[in-house]
Homo-oligomer: A and B are copies of this chain.
Amino acid sequence: MTGRAGAAALDAADPLAPFRERFVLGDEPRLYLDGNSLGRLPLATRARLAAAVGEWGERLVTGWHEWIELPRRVGDRLARGVLGAGEGEVLVADSTTVDLYKLCGALVAMRDGALLVPRDEFPTDRYVLQALAEQHGRELRLLDADPVDGPGVDDVEAALAGGDVALLVLSHVNYRSGALADLPAITALARRRGVPVLWDLCHSAGVVPVDLRAHGVELAVGCTYKYLNAGPGAPAFLYVARELQPRLRSPIAGWFAQRDQFAMGHPHVPADGVDRFLAGTPPILLLAAVDESAALVAEAGVEAAREKSIALTELVVELHDAWLEPLGFTLGTPRDPARRGSHVSLRHPDAWRICRALIERADVVPDFRAPDSIRLGVPPLYTRFVDVWDALDRLRALVSAGEHELVRRDSSRVT
């Protein structure tokens, strides 16, 4: 079994180890294992944000000559360095929820049929589809699947067999279980059935290679504040395969989506290309943050990040089996490393109090997801093997001593 010295040896041999110094580590010695919810602040992003603020102050409105290109330019950077998409296929603007609404709304307007989404999907995806189903008089179909492994190819095949599906929305990595869906196989299957799939990449972008074009993905969205480290509420990205763009119209037809924006004409005529999925004025300062943070991930390389991420989650699983299973934990994440993302879910009937006790008494920050999961995220650019070892060691000690039973039960569950 891996001892602390073994974990330290893994760190010593880690080619990504130097990237840790590129982040603000101001919360140390706290062990931060919630980068799957909110990534750390890169030093370069802090500097870039200050520069962007300064540019606003100095250039004022003339800054728009360059800023107006930012949603597409930052999108191109993500496309190239992170998503395996082509130029002019990715935009950065609005939130994941709004981007989901724009793309799903566009799809529903041009295709009949039910809207299909896993029952265990992240809430905002289900809610957006529920509202669209109500607006368009469609059925919302919830796909059931194993709570740990998530929907497999067979589940999707069975759900599509009935026909009459307008759109399938699916997370690449499930927010709770960390299960990694088989994106290539499910995309290929759905294409054979003629059903568009929108992939939610929130929990995979930057840490799992996606290669959207290689796999024939047509639609995707994702956030930038988890493994892309662009800050709380940084704008999301959307991807629309070039071939599909001319056929889709965003339901939110704002002036930034207008073909000749500054003619201020009437009626609305969607811009050519991916710009038609813009809406209102994009958040320039935060686009600078996404640009800088995404460059750091691209510099490290998503393939290298994936390799280390697997090694880190393997260590979590190993220590869980050795130390935590005897304490009543079960693994809420697939055992096959090829079938999980970069966080591990540990299930326990008293998960909420254990999570609070970890934060308050053991200086370890994971997060809780209802009803019974503690998520441990291990973003490979700044998480060390010894961090994982120490965190699991503290978790074991805390639960063994029953310290979580001292936590008052209440309803606060923000993190």
Contact = CB atoms under 8 A, between A and B. Distances in A.
A97 interface: yes
A96 interface: yes
A241 interface: no
Contact of A98 (B63, B94, B263): B94
A252 B98 contact: yes
A121 to B, nearest CB: 9
A258 B127 contact: yes
Interface string A344-386: 0000000000000001000001010110000000000000000
A97 B225 contact: no
A81 B290 CA distance: 32
A256 interface: yes
Interface stretch (A6-14, A148-156, A281-289): A281-289
25 contacts: A26-B54, A38-B64, A41-B53, A56-B231, A61-B365, A61-B367, A62-B359, A62-B365, A64-B232, A65-B412, A94-B95, A95-B254, A98-B280, A101-B254, A101-B279, A109-B135, A124-B254, A127-B267, A131-B268, A233-B282, A233-B283, A233-B287, A262-B370, A283-B286, A285-B286
A84 interface: no
Interface residues of A, number: 90
Contact of A126 (B41, B233, B268, B369): B268
A2 interface: no
Interface string A245-269: 0000111111111100111111110
A60 B46 contact: no
A59 interface: yes
Nearest to A278: B97
A130 B258 CA distance: 13
Given A27-B57, A65-B415, A95-B279, 20 more contacts: A24-B57, A38-B61, A62-B359, A64-B415, A67-B233, A94-B98, A95-B254, A97-B255, A97-B279, A97-B281, A119-B266, A123-B255, A123-B264, A127-B267, A131-B249, A135-B135, A135-B251, A233-B281, A264-B370, A285-B285
Interface in A126-152: 126-128, 130-131, 135, 142
A251 B102 CA distance: 11
A119 B54 CA distance: 38
Contacts of A359: 62
A283 B283 contact: yes
Contacts of A304: none
Contact of A232 (B24, B56, B231, B367): B56
A137 to B, nearest CB: 12
A26 B95 CA distance: 32
A413 interface: yes
Interface in A96-133: 96-98, 101, 109, 119, 122-124, 126-128, 130-131
A58 interface: yes
B231 A285 contact: yes
Given A236-B280, A266-B119, A62 B97 contact: no
B38 A46 contact: no
A32 interface: yes
Nearest to A263: B370
Contact of A253 (B34, B57, B130): B130
Given A253-B127, A255-B123, A414 B283 contact: no
B57 A26 contact: yes
Interface string A66-106: 01100000000000000000000000001111100100000
**Residue from the set A59, A268, A412 with the largest chain B CB neighbour count within 10 Å:** A268
